[in-house]
Amino acid sequence: MTTEHATARINPWAVAQQQFDLAAEKLGLDAGMRAVLREPRREFTVHFPVHMDDGSVRVFTGYRVQHNLGRGPAKGGIRYHQDVSIDEVKALAMWMTWKCAVVGIPYGGGKGGVIVDPKQLSMRELEALTRRFFTEIEVLVGPEKDIPAPDVNTNAQVMAWMMDTYSMHAGYTVPGVVTGKPISLGGSEGRNEATARGTVYCIVEAARHLGIELKKAKVAVQGFGNAGSIAAQLIVAEGSTVVAVSDSTGGIHNPNGLDVNKVIAWKKEHGTVQGFPGATDIGNEQVLEVECEILIPAALENQITERNADKVKARLIAEAANGPTTPEADRILWKKSKFMIPDILCNAGGVTVSYFEWVQDLNRDHWSEEIVNAKLKEIMVKAFTSVLAIARREQCDMRTAAYLLAVERVADAMAMRGLYP
Ligand code: NAD
């Protein structure tokens, strides 16, 4: 069965609500608070037209969801993908709420998406789609209200178009409306690498805790985009060996190690990691099951499920992706003593440096990469240490521990604000 088929059967929103319910139960959250946090505050659907290069007009569907605004403005990426759905965006928005709370940055959770395969669009069509979508969601976004960022298939160029669109309507430049922008437009040093860097900071801490020697560790990475390919580079810099990687077209494997920089160059030239000289082509699911100490899922949701969880060989799983593991798979991995660094902790480096970018924009400031990385490390290590302490105290897995920390922080903020009116 292909990954796509497996993914289609599992609803990420049901997964997100199950994860929340578990934490709410453990925390003994009262019924009212539970009901509030269990649903998104705002769900916005837009259908918008775009002039295509062949002269036709095509109508696209997009979403922006704000799950919770208790701790600050909504924060979360915008995804362009053919499988985007309102339930996926709701789940991703809820995970953003918990993620911002885990690392203690003053944001609520939001997310957006457009149903489109951007690889089928020309640059002009992509720009037109981006500008019109951003115009449609402008009633919600703004530097004090909701600040989007890149996610799957969106990047610094797309953020530049969004920032320009908002600024044109405002009549002046508003850099703080999106993060993940090019450096020349108020982007932050280190933002491009931040998700992967945060993941690797967590892996270093987890490896120390588990007694895994990174210099001897073999690593497999699923997904070879912003999060995955940079995580592969950074883990190699720690002395580990990357033995398998994959993208949407499939995977490659070499038990003796892959030259990550050469794989990046190969993918750039051929549009796929497959066919890389010296490696064996494997299926995307097999990448999750190869012999290794560390597995980094960095693609999409629902990749490790009850079907394949017991085939995962890695001792340590670091979720650079959002929602790659289902609750059933979590239970199997926990029984097998696997150590999970959950998404809401593991990939929080991206939103943390997005927060730094927003702070720099609002203050018309620019920090060096050294300062950004040092501040990021401090936040990630502190969050990891706090979550590990809860996991030990409660004798629970790291995901549950991260949820206990996050949900309690959000519930506390909501309770202090009180129920309006
Ligand atoms: P990206 O578009 O840069 O890369 C996505 C990669 O996944 C591509 O290599 C693509 O080929 C691959 N992919 C797609 N479908 C796949 C499949 N079925 N099997 C294997 N590979 C597949 O996106 P990204 O920004 O790297 O995001 C990846 C994950 O990381 C997502 O879950 C995203 O939400 C999460 N994330 C990203 C950021 C960020 O700052 N970019 C922050 C936090 C979390």
Cis peptide before 421 (omega within 30 of 0): yes
Q: Where are the domains of the chain?
A: 39-185, 194-346
Q: What is the pLDDT of residue 1?
A: 35
Q: Which atom of ligand 1 is nearest to the CA of 300?
A: 32
Nearest-Å Rg of the Cα atoms of the chain is 20
Q: What is the pLDDT of residue 227?
A: 97
The band of 115, judged by pLDDT with boundaries at 50, 70 and 90, is very high
The band of 198, judged by pLDDT with boundaries at 50, 70 and 90, is very high
Identify the three-state secondary structure at position 303. Answer: coil
Q: Which of 247, 270, 296 to mutate to test the pocket of ligand 1 (most atoms within 8 A of CB)?
A: 247
* pLDDT tens track for 284-297: 999 999 999 999 99
Q: What is the DSSP letter of 255?
A: T
CA distance linking residue 398 with residue 385, whole number of Å: 11
Q: Which residues pair with 280 in a beta bridge?
A: 253
Q: Which of 116, 226, 285, 303 to mutate to test the pocket of ligand 1 (most atoms within 8 A of CB)?
A: 226
Number of other CB atoms surrounding residue 316 within 10 Å? 22
Q: Categorise residue 258: left if φ over 0, alpha if ψ from -120 to 50, beta otherwise.
A: beta
What mean pLDDT comes out for the span 213-236?
98
**Locate tokens 């860097």: which residue?**
197
What mean pLDDT comes out for the span 28-51?
98
Q: What is the pLDDT of residue 5?
A: 44
Residue nearest to atom 36 of ligand 1 (CA): 321
Contact 112, 137 (CB under 8 A): yes
CA distance linking residue 173 with residue 182, whole number of Å: 14
Q: Which atom of ligand 1 is nearest to the CA of 194?
A: 40
Residue nearest to atom 30 of ligand 1 (CA): 321
Q: Do 39-185 and 194-346 have matching folds?
A: yes
CATH architecture of the domain covering 39-185: 3-Layer(aba) Sandwich (3.40)
- Whether pLDDT at 62 is above 50: yes
- 66's enclosing H/E stretch is strand 57-68
* Catalytically active residues, by annotation: 111
Q: Which residues pair with 65 in a beta bridge?
A: 43, 111
CA distance linking residue 373 with residue 197, whole number of Å: 8
Query: 322: CA distance to ligand 1 center in Å?
Result: 9
pTM recorded for the entire structure: 0.97
- 361's enclosing H/E stretch is helix 349-362
For the CA atoms of 174, 179, 181, 185, what is the dihedral angle to 10 degrees? 30
Q: Which amino acid is at 106?
A: P
The band of 4, judged by pLDDT with boundaries at 50, 70 and 90, is very low
The band of 8, judged by pLDDT with boundaries at 50, 70 and 90, is low
What mean pLDDT comes out for the span 104-113?
98
The band of 35, judged by pLDDT with boundaries at 50, 70 and 90, is very high
First-to-last CA distance in the chain?
A: 51
Query: 207: CA distance to ligand 1 center in Å?
Result: 24
CA distance linking residue 415 with residue 154, whole number of Å: 36
Please state, rounded to an integer, the average pLDDT across all residues of the chain: 97
Contact 61, 403 (CB under 8 A): no
Residue nearest to atom 32 of ligand 1 (CA): 321
What burial class does residue 193 get, using C-beta atoms within 10 Å of its C-beta: 0-12 exposed, 13-18 middle, 19+ buried? buried
CA distance linking residue 139 with residue 335, whole number of Å: 47
Q: Which atom of ligand 1 is nearest to the CA of 150?
A: 41
* pLDDT tens track for 372-395: 999 999 999 999 999 999 999 999
3-state percent breakdown (helix, strand, coil) of the chain, nearest 5:
50, 20, 30
Closest CA to 414 of 119, 31, 157, 71: 71
List pocket residues of ligand 1, CB cut-off 6 Å.
3, 150-153, 195, 222-228, 246-248, 284, 298-300, 320-322, 347, 350
Q: Which atom of ligand 1 is nearest to the CA of 354?
A: 40
Query: 298: CA distance to ligand 1 center in Å?
Result: 5
CA distance linking residue 406 with residue 214, whole number of Å: 29
Contact 103, 352 (CB under 8 A): yes
* pLDDT tens track for 362-374: 999 999 999 999 9
Closest CA to 342 of 400, 405, 407, 271: 400
The sheet with strand 146-150 has its strands ordered as 42-51, 57-68, 108-115, 74-81, 146-150
Q: What is the pLDDT of residue 3?
A: 44
Query: 223: CA distance to ligand 1 center in Å?
Result: 6
Q: Which atom of ligand 1 is nearest to the CA of 299?
A: 7
* pLDDT tens track for 153-178: 999 999 999 999 999 999 999 999 99
* pLDDT tens track for 310-341: 999 999 999 999 999 999 999 999 999 999 99
CA distance linking residue 65 with residue 87, whole number of Å: 10
Domain 194-346 has CATH 3.40.50.720: yes
CA distance linking residue 421 with residue 417, whole number of Å: 11
Identify the three-state secondary structure at position 23. Answer: helix
Query: 376: CA distance to ligand 1 center in Å?
Result: 21
Contact 292, 313 (CB under 8 A): yes
